[in-house]
A and B are shown apart, each in its own frame.
Chain A
């Protein structure tokens, strides 16, 4: 089947013409001029505005809802409650535990209870105040330990006797045996806090229902296809009567990868009122929608030989899921499954438990499920290196798993440029001259990581392609690409343009891309798990090669030469053996249109069979893995406890950089986001279960002043299965920023911070503790100077 073809990493025409160069983005200028249309920019005639009534209680039963006063308000066109949309859904089909509006229970402060459509937002807001809801307040859980230990009340009735969302325990090799025979065992407990995506665009959706009975939904989503499925399920509409369009989207980072309440509400309200309906969430509501990084409590035990070879890793993880499942099943697996590279260790065990609490639901944030364990493990590795007197970069080299290998949990590794990543950051940062040699208060730390380029677990089991592309070419000389992929700013539409232009030897600006419109485009599963460049890119290669064959055949026939003499290059067709023979791409297309009739082609991609032969073995099994190394320089003011990060060096193996500038942008954004959550951001609730500060004032996202200087290196290991060898770049480069920072802080002032975020208060507490344990006489600075001397 064509969909499963692997096209190989080579250039279609010997040398790359488009790929590998820093072309402009397809939508860059539209965004620069303000022309690009985002969901809230859509205004339809007669459009109503909808608002959501939310729960003021963290955990309560709904005794009654009376909407009559709201409905009576002039300008109000419809009010809906959970009774209007009672069918449960969830992005993971095995755990449907959400409803668009609460049916009988609310599970966090901000949970959706009712929705109003009115002539304007002011009227809708006024109507919300007129909805009378009677609650019976229940005990609320804010501490995951309590949720684990206490079973009454349960947050979800479906869980009979507990609040466990998912439990996974897997063991590979003999972990306990490894610990018994090890020369060194390092143990540590770590806490990773919550953080949220903070996309600058708030969620927004617009719906209309045509008289013919077609529902059109425009939504700021990164998973159009799953929204489409969920709408069909919840509204009980046939899917072919629903059209989902993703307009330009103002950032996502995993925060728009669930179906959300507002999408169902605008659809239902449009159906009821016969008018278009828009709902734009406030920033506060975006904080309640959340689906951000799961807080985790992690305990690690790492075993090693005295020459620094890791022999076993043992992890126990408690995951705070918040109020709903979201991607939680996958999160629980990812918390263990994605740690088994870039290092080789013969034994591994993880025991991960995700519990429900009465807080905004957690989900996938950039580096889903694996950022937290990576932090803990890379800190452990630093301690192993320190205790054995081995350079932290050397210990990482020593344990490198190599290329074309298999991990202890059965994952297939193809290309890996991890060693080059280490080399680049080591050189760039002048590590050898500076690590352990900077003045007190300044330090360097290193860490590495691995991440997936998509997974072969397609969320809902099916035999159909995971990614699809359709091409149209006509006599004007234009090639139009219909892509199912969600471009969330990462540039997936640009990438398919580059690929199609490369294959057809065209000027990229003569390739236009129409994307993420379910009426026009083939299905793609969405922008998550760093799957788009790899999977959609391969589908684009597939489709373009089929069209290319037609162009070449038509030109060869016209010139009466063998097909292998025809080359498509820079907007022309040329004869390799006769420089007199030249046609424009337009002419070539016209010849092909005459020969083959109306021109089009489709392309698809599906992963090969991957993963370990055990339950859950396919979750986290990726056709290719990306690799990253970070070195972070940290400065610590020992008097204020404030950490500043003047510079980060990050090298990332993305297989092949289809557009190096876009790759650099992904790396830099990842580094920023990692350092941001490590130092400043904290998504938490207060003692009442209220979000501690649901605004962009109180949730501190760094400004241009607060962001480190980032030095980026692109490593290209050319994967055998990626499109031209490409792998992901958007999530991997976040992971090791955080442990590298922790390790840099240790180098700077000799403290090991195991609890995130690294606030100045924690630094001061750790410094005080260190002084205590060193004894008053020694003093921090002197001790550090000594330690540095000893390691020379």
Chain B
């Protein structure tokens, strides 16, 4: 057991943990920051991704002690830091993920959003291929990645005031006015 000081989301937090505890375990079970998730035990899924000095790393393969002296950002830090820097609501990445439906079960998304965050910090206008690559260490099982990519592209577009992507179903449904949809009961069909 050793005492450690971790710089997490702008705060310096004191705790103690045995040397063999990972950063993920300390964040979740010592500091109560349970937003970072555990999916695969050993670096295969990306759910535990946090930013260390701005870079996406897997907290399940990082010892807590090895993170001392580095700036750690977890999903819990995004909204407060956005507010602190004069923003409104949640971080634009979080907001876009929510609006685009990218959060189904939500379990992989803290890690996914931090990977996305690191990407947009390094590259203001990544191509779709670059986004896919940057997120390719984060497995998602719900979305087929479609609405995730849309969310990242939306956040990027909105930052520069450009038009957000519009999926095919949106265009397609514009021809449907709700009032025109009618139940096709047997009687109506017979008419």
Contacts and interface: CB of A to CB of B under 8 A. Distances in A.
Nearest to B100: A661
B123 to A, nearest CB: 16
Nearest to B140: A200
B48 to A, nearest CB: 11
Contact of B39 (A200, A489, A657, A662): A200
Interface in A38-55: 38, 40-41, 43
B109 A32 contact: yes
Interface in B84-135: 90, 94-95, 97-101, 103-110, 113, 131-133, 135
B107 A660 contact: no
A198 B144 CA distance: 13
B40 A707 contact: no
Interface stretch (B64-72, B156-164, B181-189): B181-189
Given A22-B101, A665-B104, A705-B133, A8 B183 contact: yes
B182 A11 contact: no
Contacts of A199: 105, 107, 141
B47 to A, nearest CB: 6
B146 A10 contact: no
Contact of B189 (A43, A252, A403, A712): A403
A716 interface: yes
A10 B145 CA distance: 34
A33 B75 contact: yes
B176 A716 contact: yes
B39 A704 contact: no
Contacts of B167: 664, 711-712
Interface string A190-214: 0000000111111000000000000
Contacts of A38: 34, 37, 107
Given A16-B178, A22-B101, A29-B94, A669 B76 contact: no
Contact of A491 (B37, B104, B108, B148): B104
Interface stretch (A89-97, A145-153, A576-584, A717-725): A717-725
A572 B121 CA distance: 44
Given A8-B183, A712-B169, A15 B35 contact: no
Interface string B40-76: 1110110100000000000000000000000000111
A385 B42 CA distance: 49
A646 to B, nearest CB: 12
Interface in A238-257: 248-253
A714 interface: yes
Contact of B110 (A8, A34, A656, A697): A34
Interface residues of B, number: 72
A201 B105 contact: yes
Interface string A686-711: 00000000011100010111010011
A33 B78 contact: yes
A438 interface: no
Contact of A41 (B34, B78, B178, B182): B34
Tell which of B41, B109, B110, B141 has the most Cβ of chain A within 10 Å. B141
Given A33-B75, A253-B141, A707-B145, A696 B40 contact: yes
A767 to B, nearest CB: 29
B143 interface: yes
B14 to A, nearest CB: 19
Contacts of A11: 178
Nearest to A120: B29
A41 B106 CA distance: 14
Contacts of B44: 283, 695-697
Nearest to B74: A34
A272 interface: no
B183 A201 contact: no
A8 B187 CA distance: 14
Interface string A23-67: 011011101111111101101000000000000000000000000
Interface residues of A, number: 81
Nearest to B145: A704
A40 to B, nearest CB: 7
A661 B172 CA distance: 13
A65 to B, nearest CB: 27
A490 to B, nearest CB: 7
Contacts of A673: 141, 144
Interface string A401-442: 001100000000001000000001000100000000000000
Interface in B21-47: 28-29, 32-42, 44-45, 47
A33 B185 contact: no
Contact of B75 (A34, A697, A710): A34
B40 A668 contact: no
A282 B41 contact: yes
Contact of B107 (A19, A200, A491, A725): A200
A282 B173 CA distance: 43
Contacts of A703: 132, 135-139
A662 B101 contact: yes
Q: Which of A199, A428, A662 is most buried by chain B, counting CB atoms within 10 A of its CB? A: A199
Contacts of A424: 172
A695 B169 contact: no
A458 interface: no
B154 to A, nearest CB: 12
A177 interface: no
A33 B178 contact: no
Contact of A669 (B74, B136, B144): B144
B136 A9 contact: no
B39 A201 contact: yes
Contacts of A705: 132-133, 136
Contact of A27 (B37, B106, B136): B106
Contacts of A415: 183-184
Given A200-B47, A283-B40, A250 B107 contact: yes
B1 interface: no
A31 B101 contact: no
Contacts of A661: 100-101, 147
B142 interface: yes
Contact of A696 (B29, B39, B107, B172): B39
Contacts of A608: none
A707 B150 CA distance: 14
A713 B183 contact: no
Contacts of A16: 178
Contacts of A201: 37, 39, 105, 107
A20 B139 contact: no
A283 B95 CA distance: 30
Nearest to B38: A40
Contacts of B133: 704-705
Nearest to A427: B172
B147 A668 contact: yes
A753 B48 CA distance: 38
A488 interface: yes
A710 B169 CA distance: 11
Given A283-B44, A489-B105, 7 more contacts: A25-B103, A31-B103, A33-B75, A251-B141, A283-B40, A665-B104, A703-B132
> A-B pairs with the 6 shortest C-beta distances?
A34-B35, A672-B144, A250-B107, A31-B106, A489-B105, A41-B34
23 contacts: A20-B178, A25-B103, A28-B103, A32-B113, A33-B94, A34-B35, A38-B107, A41-B28, A200-B108, A248-B105, A251-B105, A251-B142, A283-B39, A283-B42, A284-B41, A672-B143, A703-B138, A703-B139, A704-B133, A704-B140, A713-B172, A714-B172, A718-B184
